[in-house]
């Protein structure tokens, strides 16, 4: 079994499959789409809900030390002032004076171009651009310099300069990613990422509010409420799932970076003297285990430890869990030790005490936090890319046929099973299949399909990741009441009774 060798190809396949089978559509498509926004179709919303449900179940309902929360998206603007977002939540951006496009400085790289051994300038490429694109742009620069006959040293393209670090002279000699002449890129400038809106009847500055760029501040703002009304004791966490909005300048790589997305965040409050390194490690392991439990291969997950000199002054450590996405290894889950910075900021700005009394230690303090922060959409993209498989299986006539399948874990698959009567024109088969379908539907999202050859029906389900196919045939009716259960990945079939089937599905789906 193979995934397509070329990862750019994999992303294209995923985008096509998601559109074709109703997982994800570009937002506002009938008006030409809207960059950075996506709509989740009938299968996408199921997958998305299953991811969120699995997370909520494992991190909130199955733990005694974490409570749930659902705070408003628009909150008092003072929260964003206190958190530092109003003044500091920005990205350094580089503009192209020619194409009018804007790039994130930390995602733009200048690659030196060497012709006949002589360094002649740079081509700027956005992170993740492939080797073919680099060579194409380097040849474009060679043409611009009127040196068509010169030999391009392709090996030299590998050396890079981060755009943010480039000198004015280097910028002058650089061909931007979408430019037709060199020297069109500006120096990095700060660009605010929060979406603004107006609340109330006034249109002046006093009415300015923000769409939240993270769910975390809703947790900090409610920390006192949870402490005062619940039975929490240190260490404990507050978890929230919800929409976040960022005016990303370069939304791209499908749903990896969008302007409206959803986060699943936890603030885990610990004593200032706690072994935060040990707890941080525990959180990393718990998060990795969870990703594996919903079907991501362990070997696709790595850790990126942020260097101490790049951390914010209040941060003690941050490690990102990286996933091997089709466009490269990128952040999936950020796990940060944020000290007591956020609570202290809110204590200072609101004038309300954020201290907790620690019964065990008989001490009063503002707790520190560990913050595991995960994107729903990035998780969904990771799951799709890990699940996408192409292989060959025998068709109804026994001939090998290419098939595409999504190997979703049963827990998160949109449909858990599909029920088929072997033939649609035999009422006794149809009746029995419908009855089983309705029985299963009481517990799970299942699919009923009576049309077409049975092999075609299996194939349609494989492509949307339904793990189990259940067929009602004449043996079911005339002999022992057993049904055929077909496994999506191995295509193996076996017979079992309806009660055995329910027990099996229960184990596979609900664990
Ligand atoms: P990046 O460096 O990729 O912009 P970040 O470090 O700013 O991400 P955080 O602020 O730590 O991200 O957000 C926590 C999580 O939210 C990320 O790990 C990611 O899963 C998700 N996330 C952040 N920005 C986006 C986005 N624009 N689109 C989709 N998911 C996002």
Q: Separation of 375 CA from ligand 1 center, angstroms? A: 7
Rg (CA), the chain: 27
pLDDT at 122: 95
pLDDT at 130: 81
In the structure encoding, which two tokens stand for residue 301, read together?
A: 């997950």
Domain range list for the chain: 8-89+194-384, 93-191, 415-510
Does ligand 1 come within 6 angstroms of the Cβ of 327? no
pLDDT at 132: 87
Picking from 70, 341, 363, 69, the residue whose alpha carbon sits closest to that of residue 233 is 363
For residue 277, the 8-state DSSP code is H
Give the contacts of 409 (CB within 8 A, at least 6 positions apart): 293, 294, 295
Mutate to test the pocket of ligand 1, among 375, 376, 383 (most ligand atoms within 8 A of CB): 375
Does ligand 1 come within 6 angstroms of the Cβ of 106? no
Does ligand 1 come within 6 angstroms of the Cβ of 216? no
Residue nearest atom 1 in ligand 1 by C-alpha distance = 331
Residue nearest atom 29 in ligand 1 by C-alpha distance = 257
Question: Can you tell me the distance from the alpha carbon of 62 to that of 418, in angstroms, rounded to the nearest whole number?
Answer: 29
Q: Which atom of ligand 1 is nearest to the CA of 246?
A: 27
Q: Separation of 447 CA from ligand 1 center, angstroms? A: 34
Reduced 3-state DSSP string for 381-406: HHHHHHHEEEEEEECCCCCEEEEEEE
Provide the β-strand partners of residue 115: 118, 152
The full DSSP string for 64-103 is SSEEEE---SB--HHHHHHTTHHHH-EEEEEEBTTT--EE
Chain position carrying tokens 């201290």: 355
Q: Which atom of ligand 1 is nearest to the CA of 257?
A: 28
For residue 277, the tally of other CB atoms under 10 A from its CB is 11
Residue nearest atom 23 in ligand 1 by C-alpha distance = 375
pLDDT at 179: 95
Does ligand 1 come within 6 angstroms of the Cβ of 258? yes
Give the contacts of 4 (CB within 8 A, at least 6 positions apart): 10, 13, 390
Provide the β-strand partners of residue 403: 391
Mutate to test the pocket of ligand 1, among 373, 374, 376, 383 (most ligand atoms within 8 A of CB): 373
117: buried, middle or exposed (CB in 10 Å: 19+, 13-18, 0-12)? exposed
Does ligand 1 come within 6 angstroms of the Cβ of 263? yes
56: buried, middle or exposed (CB in 10 Å: 19+, 13-18, 0-12)? middle
Residue nearest atom 14 in ligand 1 by C-alpha distance = 373
Q: Separation of 194 CA from ligand 1 center, angstroms? A: 13
Does ligand 1 come within 6 angstroms of the Cβ of 375? yes
Residue nearest atom 4 in ligand 1 by C-alpha distance = 257
pLDDT at 6: 44
Question: Can you tell me the distance from the alpha carbon of 371 to that of 356, in angstroms, rounded to the nearest whole number?
Answer: 18
Does ligand 1 come within 6 angstroms of the Cβ of 379? no
Q: Separation of 301 CA from ligand 1 center, angstroms? A: 16
pLDDT tens for the chain, 511 residues long, are 333 334 768 999 999 999 999 999 999 999 999 999 999 999 999 999 999 999 999 999 999 999 999 999 999 999 999 999 999 888 899 999 999 999 999 889 999 999 999 999 999 999 888 888 889 999 999 999 999 999 998 877 777 888 988 999 999 999 999 999 999 999 999 989 999 999 998 888 889 999 999 999 999 999 999 999 988 999 999 999 999 999 998 888 999 999 999 999 999 999 999 999 999 999 999 999 999 999 999 999 999 999 998 898 889 999 999 999 999 999 999 999 999 999 999 999 999 999 999 999 999 999 999 999 999 999 999 999 999 999 998 887 888 989 999 999 999 999 999 999 999 999 999 999 999 999 999 999 999 999 999 999 999 999 999 999 999 999 999 988 999 999 999 999 999 999 999 999 999 998 7
388 with 14: CB under 8 angstroms? yes
Question: Can you tell me the distance from the alpha carbon of 497 to that of 57, in angstroms, rounded to the nearest whole number?
Answer: 30
Angle (CA) 485 488 494, round 5°: 25
Residue nearest atom 13 in ligand 1 by C-alpha distance = 373
Q: Which atom of ligand 1 is nearest to the CA of 213?
A: 10
Phi and psi angles of residue 129, each rounded to the nearest 5 degrees, phi first: -65, 145
**What CATH number belongs to 8-89+194-384?**
3.30.930.10
Helix (H) or strand (E) holding 336, with range, is strand 328-339
Q: Which atom of ligand 1 is nearest to the CA of 106?
A: 2
pTM equals 0.87
**What CATH number belongs to 415-510?**
3.40.50.800
pLDDT at 160: 84
Does ligand 1 come within 6 angstroms of the Cβ of 331? yes
235 with 270: CB under 8 angstroms? yes
Q: How far is CA 57 from the centre of its chain?
A: 19
For residue 169, the tally of other CB atoms under 10 A from its CB is 8
Question: Can you tell me the distance from the alpha carbon of 43 to that of 46, in angstroms, rounded to the nearest whole number?
Answer: 5
């Amino acid at each position: 079994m193979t995934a397509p060798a070329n990862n750019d190809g994999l992303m294209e396949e995923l985008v096509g499959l998601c559109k074709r089978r109703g997982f994800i559509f570009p937002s506002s498509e009938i008006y030409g789409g809207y960059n950075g926004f996506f709509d989740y179709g009938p299968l996408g919303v199921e997958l998305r809900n299953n991811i969120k449900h699995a997370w909520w179940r494992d991190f909130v309902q199955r733990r005694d030390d974490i409570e749930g929360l659902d705070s408003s998206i628009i909150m008092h603007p003072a929260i964003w002032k206190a958190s530092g977002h109003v003044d500091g939540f920005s990205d350094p951006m580089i503009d192209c004076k020619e194409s009018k496009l804007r790039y994130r400085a930390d995602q733009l790289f200048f690659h030196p171009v060497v012709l006949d051994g002589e360094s002649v300038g740079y081509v700027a490429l956005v992170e993740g651009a492939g080797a073919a694109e680099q060579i194409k742009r380097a040849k474009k620069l060679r043409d611009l310099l009127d040196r068509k006959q010169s030999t391009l040293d392709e090996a030299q393209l590998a050396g890079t300069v981060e755009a943010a670090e480039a000198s004015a002279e280097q910028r002058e000699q650089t061909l931007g990613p979408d430019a037709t002449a060199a020297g069109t890129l500006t120096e990095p400038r700060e660009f605010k990422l929060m979406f603004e809106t107006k609340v109330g009847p006034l249109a002046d500055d006093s009415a300015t509010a923000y769409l939240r760029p993270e769910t975390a501040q809703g947790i900090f703002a409610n920390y006192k409420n949870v402490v005062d009304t619940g039975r929490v004791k240190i260490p404990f966490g507050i978890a929230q799932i919800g929409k976040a909005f960022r005016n990303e300048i370069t939304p791209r790589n499908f749903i990896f970076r969008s302007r409206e997305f959803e986060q699943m965040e936890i603030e885990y409050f610990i004593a200032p003297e706690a072994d935060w390194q040990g707890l941080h490690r525990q959180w990393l392991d718990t998060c990795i285990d969870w990703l594996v439990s919903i079907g991501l291969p362990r070997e696709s997950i790595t850790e990126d430890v942020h260097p101490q000199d790049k951390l914010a002054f209040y941060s003690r450590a941050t490690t990102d869990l990286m996933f091997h996405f089709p466009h490269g290894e990128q952040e999936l889950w950020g796990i940060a030790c944020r000290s007591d910075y956020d609570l202290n900021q809110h204590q200072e700005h609101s004038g309300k005490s954020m201290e907790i009394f620690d019964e065990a230690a008989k001490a009063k303090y503002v707790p520190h936090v560990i913050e595991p922060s995960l994107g729903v959409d990035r998780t969904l993209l990771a799951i799709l890319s890990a699940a996408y498989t192409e292989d060959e299986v025998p068709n109804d006539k026994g001939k090998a046929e290419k098939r595409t399948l999504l190997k979703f874990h049963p827990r998160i698959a949109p449909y858990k099973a599909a029920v088929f009567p072997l033939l649609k024109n035999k009422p006794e088969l149809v009746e029995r299949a419908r009855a089983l379908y309705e029985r299963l539907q009481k517990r799970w999202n299942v699919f009923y399909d009576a049309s077409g050859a049975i092999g075609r029906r299996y194939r349609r389900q494989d492509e949307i990741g339904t793990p189990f196919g259940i067929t009602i045939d004449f043996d079911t009716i005339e002999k022992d009441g057993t049904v055929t259960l077909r496994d999506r990945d191995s295509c193996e079939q076996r017979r079992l009774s309806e009660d055995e089937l329910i027990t099996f599905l229960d184990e596979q789906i609900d664990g």
